[in-house]
Amino acid sequence: QLDTDQEEETARDLVTRKLRATRGLDRDKRLRRLAGMLARKGYPEGMALRVVRQALEEEGEDTEHLGDEGF
């Protein structure tokens, strides 16, 4: 069982590895695909969305308009 920090770090690593494959897609689609990948692996929705948004922001994507409605 991973603690929350370890779980988030693992999620971040997964998103970083998959981020390049989503380049060229619109922001909403990238968010859904990456968060969906984490959800299928059992990560909590809130954590998945937070990790994906952070990764997209670090890459230079504008995530302000992306809501919290889930994926």
Domain boundaries, given as residue ranges, for the chain: 4-59
The pLDDT value given to residue 15: 98
CB of 6 within 8 A of CB of 47?
no
Report d(CA 24, CA 47) in Å as an integer. 24
**pLDDT digit string (tens) for the chain, length 71 residues:** 568 899 999 999 999 999 999 999 999 999 999 999 999 999 999 999 999 999 999 988 766 655 555 55
Report d(CA 41, CA 65) in Å as an integer. 26
34 CB burial (10 A radius; 0-12, 13-18, 19+): buried
